[in-house]
């Protein structure tokens, strides 16, 4: 391995280790260090050596271990952010995954769906599928991620299953700031949802 390749390898590892724990990365995160071909080769070398872990095609992380659980899998959120890449694409949890995040459902879905204003993508990591699903810009224009999460979760449940207890639960979970933003975002939600959202957004 030449000195230039060694330099790229060391810089990649330095950046990956300095990032927040659980960071999932791809070649686009390092293009300031060299050509795409050079970065791909460096990631391949480090993956073969075991210093970094190849999660799925094009996605990597620094392996983490727990004394009791052993090697830890990357989080769904970290994988989704890596899929969104460095193109400043917006992503938002949706469907059963959104309901689970708000603890409106105890079932952990086998497929975690995120809405995005970018191209659709899907990867499988172990037993988990992560999908970026292209959506219209209207819903992506919410003023906060929390607003989008609430709207997506209620949409997944459906009007018939949005109970008083579930609405009260969501209301208790949101901060005063989140409720103010949700009130502002009500027009972006389906009409049937508006009364529920107004109640969630009202003062406690």
pLDDT at 7 (0 to 100): 86
- Segment 89-116 shows an average pLDDT of 91
Using the predicted structure, report yes or no on whether residue 155 has a pLDDT greater than 60. yes
Q: Among the listed ranges 21-25, 28-32, 103-107, 174-178, which one has the minimum average pLDDT value?
A: 103-107
Q: Based on the fold, state whether residues 142 and 165 are members of the same structural domain.
A: yes
Q: For residue 140, what are the CA distances in angstroms to 91, 105, 106, 132, 135? A: 8, 23, 26, 13, 8
Between 118 and 167, the more confident residue is 167
For position 22, which CATH number holds?
A: 1.10.10.10
Answer yes or no: do 135 and 54 share one domain: no
Claim to verify: residue 191 and residue 131 sit in the same structural domain? yes
- pLDDT single digits (tens) 114-128: 999 888 888 888 888
Instruction: Examine the domain organization and report whether 82 and 168 are in the same domain.
Output: yes
Inform me whether the pLDDT recorded for 199 exceeds 70.
yes
Distance, in Å, from the CA atom of 133 to the CA atom of 66, rounded to the nearest integer, reads: 32
Residues 60 and 86 in one domain: no
E strand map for 117-174: 121-125, 128-134
Contact in structure between 185 and 142 (CB atoms under 8 Å): yes
Q: What is the pLDDT of residue 113?
A: 94
pTM: 0.81
pLDDT average, residue stretch 84-102: 87
Of 31, 56, 72, the one marking the end of a domain is 72
pLDDT value of residue 65: 82
- C-beta separation of 167 from 200 below 8 A: yes
Q: What does the pLDDT average to over 104-110?
A: 85
Rounded CA gap, 31 and 1, in Å? Answer: 19
Q: Which residue range(s) make up the domain with 47?
A: 3-72
Looking at residue 108, the DSSP 8-state letter turns out to be: -
Which region among 63-72, 172-181, 183-192 has the lowest average model confidence (pLDDT)?
63-72
146 pLDDT band (50/70/90 cuts)?
very high
Query: What is the domain count for the chain?
Result: 2
Asked if residue 184 and residue 141 are part of one domain, the reply reads yes
Query: What are the C-alpha distances in Å from 153 to residues 36, 63, 80, 202?
Result: 39, 32, 18, 19
96 pLDDT more than 60 = yes
Same domain, 89 and 188: yes
- Does residue 94 share a domain with residue 68? no
Q: Is 196 exposed, middle or buried (0-12, 13-18, 19+ CB in 10 A)?
A: buried
Picking from 71-80, 95-104, 156-165, which range would have the lowest pLDDT averaged per residue? 71-80
Predicted confidence at residue 121, as pLDDT, reads: 87
CB 99, CB 156: distance < 8 Å: yes
Domain boundary among 41, 72, 103: 72
Q: Which of 25, 49, 72 is the last residue of a domain?
A: 72
Cα–Cα distance measured from residue 169 to residue 150, given in angstroms and rounded to the nearest whole number:
11
């Amino acid at each position: 391995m030449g000195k230039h390749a060694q330099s790229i390898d060391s810089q990649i590892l330095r950046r990956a280790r300095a990032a927040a724990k659980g960071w999932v990365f791809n070649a686009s995160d390092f293009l300031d260090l060299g050509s795409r071909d050079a970065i791909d080769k460096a990631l391949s070398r480090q993956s073969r050596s075991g210093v970094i872990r190849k999660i799925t095609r094009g996605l990597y992380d620094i392996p983490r271990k727990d004394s009791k659980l052993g090697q830890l899998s990357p989080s769904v959120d970290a994988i989704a952010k890596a899929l969104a890449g460095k193109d400043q694409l917006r992503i938002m949890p949706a469907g059963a995954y959104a309901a689970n995040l708000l603890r409106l459902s105890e079932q952990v879905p086998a497929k975690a769906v995120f809405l995005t204003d970018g191209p659709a993508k899907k990867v499988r990591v172990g037993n988990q599928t992560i999908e970026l699903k292209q959506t219209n810009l209207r819903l992506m224009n919410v003023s906060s991620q929390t607003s989008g999460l609430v709207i997506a979760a209620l949409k997944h449940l459906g009007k018939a299953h949005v109970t008083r207890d579930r609405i009260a639960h969501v209301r208790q979970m949101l901060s005063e700031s989140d409720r103010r933003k949700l009130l502002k975002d009500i027009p972006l939600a389906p009409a049937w949802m508006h009364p529920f959202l107004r109640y969630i957004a009202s003062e406690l």
